[in-house]
Amino acid sequence: MYERGARRWLVLALFLGPSLLGVLLFVAGPIVASLALAFTSWDLLTPPTFAGLRNFDRLSRDLEFWAALRHTVTFLAGYVPLVLVTGLAVAVALNGRVPARGAFRAIFFLPVVTSWVAVALVWKWLLNPQFGLVNAWLAQLGVRGPAWLFDPGWAMPSVIMTSVWKDTGFVMVILLAGLQAIPREYFEAAAIDGASRWQQLRHVTVPLLAPAIFFALTISLINSFQVFDQVYVMTGGGPAGATTVLVERIVKQAFSFSRMGYASAMSWVLFVLIFATTFAFSRLQRRWS
Partner 1 sequence: MRHPWRWGSLLGTLAVVAGAFVMLVPFAWMLSTSLKPSSALLVLPPRFVPEEATVEPYRSVMAAFPMLRVFFNSAVVALATTAGQLVVASLSGYAFARFRFWGRDVLFYGYLATLMVPFAVTITPLFIIVRTFGWTNAYAGLIVPTMFTAFGTFLMRQFFLTLPRELEEAATLDGAGTLATFVRVIVPITGPAFATLGIFAFMASWNNFLWPLLIVSDRQFMTLPLALATLQGIYPGQTQWNLVMAGTVISVVPMILVFLLAQRWVIEGVTTSGLKG
Contacts (CB under 8 A) with partner 1, residues 233-252: 233, 246-247, 250-251
- Binding to partner 1 by residue 12, rule CB under 8 A? yes
Measured from the CB of residue 10, what is the shortest distance to partner 1 in angstroms? 9
Sole binder of partner 1 in the list 82, 89, 210, 221 (CB under 8 A): 89
Q: Indicate the SS3 state at residue 18.
A: helix
Interactions with partner 1, residue window 171-200 (CB under 8 A): 173-174, 177, 191, 196-197
- Binding to partner 1 by residue 111, rule CB under 8 A? yes
- Binding to partner 1 by residue 221, rule CB under 8 A? no
Kindly state the DSSP code that residue 150 receives in the 8-state scheme: G
Sole binder of partner 1 in the list 74, 204, 223, 241 (CB under 8 A): 223
Measured from the CB of residue 26, what is the shortest distance to partner 1 in angstroms? 4
Binding characters for partner 1, 147-176, by CB under 8 A (x = yes)? ------------------x-xxxx--xx--
- Binding to partner 1 by residue 11, rule CB under 8 A? yes
DSSP, residue by residue, 193-259: TT--HHHHIIIIIHHHHHHHHHHHHHHHHHHHHT--HHHHHHTTT-STTTT--HHHHHHHHHHTS--
Sole binder of partner 1 in the list 6, 45, 63, 113 (CB under 8 A): 113
Collect all residues with Cβ–Cβ distance below 8 Å to 217 and sequence separation of at least 6: 80, 84, 281
- Binding to partner 1 by residue 28, rule CB under 8 A? yes
- Binding to partner 1 by residue 108, rule CB under 8 A? yes
DSSP, residue by residue, 37-96: HTTEE--SSS--EE-TTHHHHHHHT-HHHHHHHHHHHHHHHHHHHHHHHHHHHHHHHHHS
DSSP, residue by residue, 113-131: HS-HHHHHHHHHHHT-TTT
From the CA atom positions of the chain, what is the Rg in Å?
24
- Binding to partner 1 by residue 133, rule CB under 8 A? yes
Sole binder of partner 1 in the list 215, 241, 281, 285 (CB under 8 A): 215
